[in-house]
Structure formats: C-alpha cells, structure tokens
C-alpha cells in the first residue's frame, strides 16, 4: 500500500511551482498525514504524477502552535501560527517565515452542533470590496469537506482516497482537489489548520 503513496526517489524533488497558482484546471493532490522524517509529525503531499510537492515536519507534539509548510526541498512557503488569547480557536497564515503581516486568518466555527460549517477563512489583503473569505463545511474526521468562496462556488474539496486493488488507505491518506480559483498553498494551509482543530 505504501508504494502507492510514496513515490520513487527519482520522482522526488519537485518544487511545487507547477501546482501553485496554475490558473487553469484543477490540481489533484494526495495528502499523507505523515512526515518522511523519523520521529516527526506532519504531512507529505504528492501531485498527480507522484512527485513530492509539499511537506510539513513537526518535531515533538506539535503543540507549540506554529507549523511551517515547505516545498519538497524544505523551503518555507507559509508559516501558520495559532493566535493566543483569542476567543475561539484562530490561526494566522504568514508568507514564508514572515511573522509580521498575516495573509489570512482561519477561525473555527463557534457552534458545530447545528451547522455543517467548520471554519471561516478571511484574507488580510483588501480587495475592491474589502476583505474576502471562504467557508469550510463538512466533516474533517470523515475526510469529506468543501471550501466555498463568497459566491458559494466550490473551490476545493477534501475527499477520501479511493481504494487501490481493494485495499483502503484509511483516514491518513486523502485527496485534496483544488480549483484554479483558489491558491493551492492556501488550500494546504486550510487542511493543516483543520487537522489541528479537529484531530
């Protein structure tokens, strides 16, 4: 089963540039909830051709409230930080290793009892109509989530990975489908934050 998740050594080393901000079609990524480094927690993400494009390697329990999304070579792409002393769980997303001006904030939905809403994503960058955002709905535990933009268009989906030769992968391996309307880096940031919010 693992050979279907982990590519050959020759396939590794992609920078992730080909799946970020494509501008056309959809990117289909396989997300493995596992670090390739020993004694680390994290994520390993492959593109449709089996190339390593993103990774997260967190030492220890990962309870420090800071996570770095990297490309295959280990270059920091985004830093995610849990906001302290905040009413409700909230994470801030920064460019690279910058921790000054957040690009986005992701806030856990307050009432999960009577709603499919999981989280709300807000951009810190102002557009023509002010800050824009996304809503995340569904069940992360079941790997069945959809990200909607302000016009209720589906811009990303988290789905179970189909069994291969009758062998199921379980919840640690799943698909992330990202439409061209959404930055793939932001989609991965949403996945990581959901994992911390609902693990």
CA atoms within 13 A on the CB side of 68: 15
pLDDT digits (tens, 9 = 90+) for 42-72: 999 999 999 999 999 987 655 568 999 999 9
DSSP letter at 164 equals B
Characterize 101-132 residue by residue with b for buried, 16 or more Cβ atoms within 10 angstroms of its Cβ, and e for exposed.
ebbbbbbbbeeeeeeebbbbbebeeeeeeeee
Place of tokens 């391996």: 173
- Model confidence at 14, in pLDDT bands (50, 70, 90)? very low
Evaluate if residue 8 carries a pLDDT over 60.
no
pLDDT digits (tens, 9 = 90+) for 69-128: 999 999 999 999 998 877 778 999 999 987 789 999 999 988 766 678 999 999 987 655
Predicted confidence at residue 176, as pLDDT, reads 97
Structure token digits, residue 38: 């020993």
Domain 26-198 is found in CATH 2.40.37.20: no
Taking the C-alpha atoms of residue 144 and residue 165, their distance in angstroms, rounded to an integer, is 22
- Provide, rounded to the nearest whole percent, the portion of the chain with pLDDT above 70: 80
Taking the C-alpha atoms of residue 60 and residue 70, their distance in angstroms, rounded to an integer, is 18
């Amino acid at each position: 089963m693992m050979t279907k998740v982990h590519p050959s050594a020759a396939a590794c080393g992609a920078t992730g540039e080909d799946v970020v901000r494509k501008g056309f079609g959809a990117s289909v990524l396989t997300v493995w909830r596992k670090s390739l480094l020993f004694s680390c927690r994290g994520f390993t993400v492959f593109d449709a051709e089996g190339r390593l494009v993103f990774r997260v390697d967190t030492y220890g329990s990962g309870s420090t409230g800071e996570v770095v999304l990297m490309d295959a070579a280990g270059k920091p792409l985004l830093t995610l930080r849990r906001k302290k002393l905040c009413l409700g769980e909230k994470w801030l997303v920064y460019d690279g290793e910058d921790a000054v001006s957040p690009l986005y904030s992701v806030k856990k939905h307050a009432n999960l009892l009577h709603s499919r809403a999981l989280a709300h994503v807000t951009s810190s960058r102002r557009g023509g109509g002010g800050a824009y955002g996304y809503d995340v709905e569904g069940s992360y535990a079941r790997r069945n989530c959809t990200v909607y933009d302000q016009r209720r268009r589906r811009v990303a989906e988290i789905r179970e990975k189909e069994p291969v030769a009758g062998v199921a992968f379980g919840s640690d391996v799943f698909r992330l489908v990202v439409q061209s309307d959404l930055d793939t880096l932001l989609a991965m940031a949403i996945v990581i934050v959901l994992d911390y919010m609902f693990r």
